[in-house]
Structure 1
Amino acid sequence: MSRLQQLRRQLTPGEVYRRTELTNWSKSVDRHLDELVQEGTLQKLSQGLYYYPKESAFGKTPPDENMLVESFLKDHRFLLTTPNVYNSLGVGTTQLYNVRTVYNHKRHGEFKLGNKTFQFKIKPHFPKKVTPEFLLVDLVNNLESLAEDSSEVLKKVADKVEAMDKKKLKHSVVEYGSVKAKKLFAPLLQPHTL
């Protein structure tokens, strides 16, 4: 069995691989990766990152975004979200954005992984999963980067605060809010002080 065949046998459809992981099975990893990409077994997603597509009734499936980001970061501690989820809050945001935001502890900047763009932002704190309270704070943190009318959205944010669990919201403001967001939420969360 050739080295290339040995390497191919180690691969599992649906998995994302870093080049460094594959050096265990190949002494000529770059040549073998080029061959596997040429024959269509692997897809190159970015520098040093490859995907073995799964076949479905509709063709080759894209990689799972969480798996992709975890392989890229070499870390499972991140929060993957998108500005599109702000629309679920009912505060007047309706735009759709073709970008995914990754809060993490390692990388900062915009990266194209496969055919998707990810905006990596280093944050000291972020929750394990998106909650409505975190989402509202995150919306206010990022309001200037959205296409909507900020003043209209902020009026609806004030109304939304009234309907939310104040204790949970206060915790999210303290943990995840920017200085500007903390100032904005402070009067809305009275009589509690931040």
Structure 2
Amino acid sequence: MAKLDELKKNLKRGHVYRRDELTQWSNAIDRHLNTLVNDGTLQKLSQGVYYYPKETVFGNTPPEDDTLVRKFLKDDRFLLTSPNSYNSLGVGTTQLYNKRIVYNHKRHGTFMLGNRKFDFQMKPHFPAKATPEFLLVDLVNNLDKLAEDKQAILNNVLNKVQQMDQVKLKRSVNSYGNIKAKKFFKPALQLSDN
């Protein structure tokens, strides 16, 4: 029991851990993790990923999405976004989606982390944070996946282009736009064919 107590003593509330991080305090990590999950100390979020819940007056809080994704990927290079972010652009998208998208360099597919679903998409390029210019390009990239009036949205996007920083938008289109998006933005931004 001494090793289990040592493991418990080194856990910090609100932290997400990978199994291999915890082996330094345990001589029987799998047995100890099972014990801690069964007694409610830890929550198993995914294969080899555990959470020590932070307690509030309202009960246990879930881990922050970015903390969870960082541990799952073992990488800081990702962009966590959602189709709901498009609603901030003012181009007529109003739907709410229960979907989290993770642009990253390592994983592809849909994964349940805890009780939340994440859609991991491998991309060669994405910004450190979702700027309005990136979101506009990403909206056009993903328009076919949205439950919106596509033509109305595209018309609104063309109007929005005129209000945005043209240099930043051109850079976003060139860096993050798929072929269809580049073709769509080309007349509005006078893009070259490179």
TM-score tier by shorter-chain length is: over 0.9
Aligned to 2:97, what secondary structure does the other structure show? Answer: coil
Could you give the per-residue CA deviations for residues 26-75 of structure 1, whole angstroms, max 9, x where no partner exists? 12111100110111110010111100000111110110111100000000
Alignment of 1:62-141 (within 5 A): 62-141=62-141
Distance 2:145 2:27 in 1: 47
Aligned to 1:91, what secondary structure does the other structure show? Answer: coil
**2:192 paired residue number:** 193
Matched, 1:54 2:43: no
Q: Report the alpha carbon displacement of residue 129 of structure 1 after superposing the two structures with TM.
A: 0.5
Aligned to 2:50, what secondary structure does the other structure show? Answer: strand
Aligned to 2:17, what secondary structure does the other structure show? Answer: strand
**2:156 paired residue number:** 156
**1:43 paired residue number:** 43
For these two proteins, the number of residue pairs brought into alignment is 193
Aligned to 2:44, what secondary structure does the other structure show? Answer: strand
Could you give the per-residue CA deviations for residues 57-100 of structure 1, whole angstroms, max 9, x where no partner exists? 11101101111000000000000011001001111111111110
Alignment of 1:140-179 (within 5 A): 140-179=140-179
Distance 2:115 2:127 in 1: 27
**1:184 paired residue number:** 184
Q: Report the alpha carbon displacement of residue 23 of structure 1 after superposing the two structures with TM.
A: 1.2
Distance 1:146 1:46 in 2: 28
Q: Report the alpha carbon displacement of residue 128 of structure 1 after superposing the two structures with TM.
A: 0.4
Q: Report the alpha carbon displacement of residue 22 of structure 1 after superposing the two structures with TM.
A: 1.0
Q: Hey, which bits of structure 1, 4+ residues long, moved more than 6 A?
A: none
Aligned to 1:129, what secondary structure does the other structure show? Answer: coil
| Amino acid aligned to 2:140 | V
| Amino acid aligned to 2:182 | K
Alignment of 1:2-13 (within 5 A): 2-13=2-13
Q: Report the alpha carbon displacement of residue 193 of structure 1 after superposing the two structures with TM.
A: 3.3
Which is further off, 21-30 or 135-144?
Answer: 21-30
**2:31 paired residue number:** 31
Distance 2:112 2:98 in 1: 12
**1:21 paired residue number:** 21
Relative to the length of structure 1, the TM-score reads 0.97
The percent of aligned pairs where both chains have the same amino acid is: 65
> Structure 2: 5+ residue runs without aligned partners?
none
